[in-house]
Structure 1
Amino acid sequence: MKGKSKKTIIFTHGDSDGICSGSIAKSAYPDADVFFTSPVSLSRRLDMAKGYDNVIICDIAVDERECFTLYQKLDAIATTSDVVYIDHHPLPKQCWDAPWFHHNLDVCAAELTYKVFESRLSRDIRRVAIYGAIGDYCDHTPDVKKWTKDWDKRSLYYQAGTLIQAIQYAGRNYDFKRSLLVPLSKDKIPSEIAKLPKYARAASRLEEELRIRVKATVQSLSSLAYVIDPDGFLGKSAIYAASYGRRNIGVAAEHRENKGAYDLSLRSRNGADINRILREVAPMYGGSGGGHSVAAGARIPEESFESFILELDRRIEMEDKKAAEA
Structure 2
Amino acid sequence: MLEELERVPAGVDSLVLCDIGVDQSRLAQFVDKLGDLARRCEVMYIDHHYLSAESEKRLTKARVKLVHDVEECASMLTYQTFRKDLPEEAKKIALYGAVTDYMDASPLAKKMIEKEDRLFILLEATLLSNSVAERGDDMEYVRLVAEELSRMKQPHEIDEVPRLAVEQLRRTVGLAREVKRGGKKMGMLAYMRTDQHATGSIAKLLIGTFDVPVGVAFREKSEPGWYEVSFRGTSDCKVHLGRVVGRLAERYGGSGGGHKLAAGCRIPRGKIVSLLKELNRRL
- Residue 185 (structure 1) aligned with residue 185 (structure 2): no
Aligned partner of residue 150 in structure 1, secondary structure = coil
- Which residue pairs with 2:180 in the alignment? 215
Matched-pair contact (CA < 8 Å) for 2:194–2:218: yes
* Paired residues for 1:42-81 under 5 Å: 42-81=2-41
- The two structures, once aligned, show a CA RMSD in angstroms of 1.8
Which stretch has the larger CA shift, 42-51 or 257-266? 42-51
Task: Write the letter of the residue equivalent to 1:243.
Answer: G
* Paired residues for 1:280-291 under 5 Å: 280-291=247-258
- Which residue pairs with 1:195 in the alignment? 160
Deviation at 1:235, TM superposition (A): 0.5
**Distance in 2, Cα, partners of 1:72 & 1:298:** 22
Deviation at 1:75, TM superposition (A): 2.2
Deviation at 1:108, TM superposition (A): 0.4
Given the two structures, how large is their TM-score scaled by the length of structure 2?
0.91
Task: Write the letter of the residue equivalent to 1:217.
Answer: G
Task: Write the letter of the residue equivalent to 2:242.
Answer: N
* Paired residues for 1:34-49 under 5 Å: 41-49=1-9
Aligned with residue 260 of structure 2, among 261, 279, 293: 293
- Which residue pairs with 2:136 in the alignment? 171
**Distance in 1, Cα, partners of 2:84 & 2:9:** 24
Deviation per residue, 1:40-59 (Å, 9 max, x gap):
x2453342243211211011
Matched-pair contact (CA < 8 Å) for 2:24–2:257: no
Matched-pair contact (CA < 8 Å) for 1:43–1:73: no
Matched-pair contact (CA < 8 Å) for 1:265–1:296: yes
Deviation at 1:143, TM superposition (A): 2.3
Aligned with residue 274 of structure 1, among 241, 248, 257: 241
Aligned partner of residue 116 in structure 2, secondary structure = coil
**Distance in 2, Cα, partners of 1:232 & 1:207:** 12
Matched-pair contact (CA < 8 Å) for 1:210–1:232: no
- Which residue pairs with 1:240 in the alignment? 205
Aligned partner of residue 67 in structure 2, secondary structure = strand
Task: Write the letter of the residue equivalent to 1:48.
Answer: V
- Which residue pairs with 1:263 in the alignment? 228
Matched-pair contact (CA < 8 Å) for 1:214–1:230: no
- Which residue pairs with 1:95 in the alignment? 55
Structure 2: runs of 5 or more not aligned: none
Aligned partner of residue 147 in structure 2, secondary structure = helix
Deviation at 1:91, TM superposition (A): 1.6
Which stretch has the larger CA shift, 181-190 or 251-260? 251-260
Given the two structures, how large is their TM-score scaled by the length of structure 1?
0.80
**Distance in 2, Cα, partners of 1:312 & 1:114:** 35
Deviation per residue, 1:97-128 (Å, 9 max, x gap):
31511111000000000111122112221110
- Which residue pairs with 2:194 in the alignment? 229
Matched-pair contact (CA < 8 Å) for 2:24–2:255: no
Q: 1:193 to 1:121 in 2, by over 3 A?
A: same
Determine what percentage of the aligned residue pairs are the same residue: 31
**Distance in 2, Cα, partners of 1:64 & 1:231:** 26
* Paired residues for 1:304-323 under 5 Å: 304-316=271-283
**Distance in 2, Cα, partners of 1:250 & 1:95:** 30
- Which residue pairs with 1:86 in the alignment? 46
Deviation at 1:149, TM superposition (A): 3.2
Matched-pair contact (CA < 8 Å) for 1:49–1:55: no
Q: 1:274 to 1:71 in 2, by over 3 A?
A: closer
Matched-pair contact (CA < 8 Å) for 1:62–1:91: no
Aligned partner of residue 96 in structure 1, secondary structure = helix
